[in-house]
Amino acid sequence: MTTQALLQTQIINKAWEDPSFKELLLADPKAAIKEVLGVIIPEHIKLKAVEESSDELYLVIPSNPSEINLNHSQRRAKW
């Protein structure tokens, strides 16, 4: 399991187990992740948490790696 997948799994499991964490995660995901996991997400990175339901699902299409043009001073946002 990748680091990203592991972090996502930890966040999801915590949200399922802890209603107050889930509420904070939906309202302010950066603060929730920092509080529980100690992970600080940079200011310039936008993060949105949404909750699926039985009749509303989300499909996330990641950036196309061939279209990402980074120089050495830039870092990619990653879980």
pLDDT tens string 49-76: 999 999 999 999 988 888 876 654 555 5
Q: Rounded CA gap, 7 and 39, in Å?
A: 10
How sure is the predictor about 24, in pLDDT bands with cuts at 50, 70 and 90?
Answer: very high
Between 71 and 18, where is the model more confident? 18
Check residue 67 and give its pLDDT. 80
The total of other beta-carbon atoms located within 10 Å of residue 30's CB is 17
Check residue 72 and give its pLDDT. 47
Between 65 and 18, where is the model more confident? 18
Which positions ≥6 away from 40 have C-beta within 8 Å? Answer: 34
Please calculate the CA angle 45-49-57 and round it to the nearest 5 degrees.
130
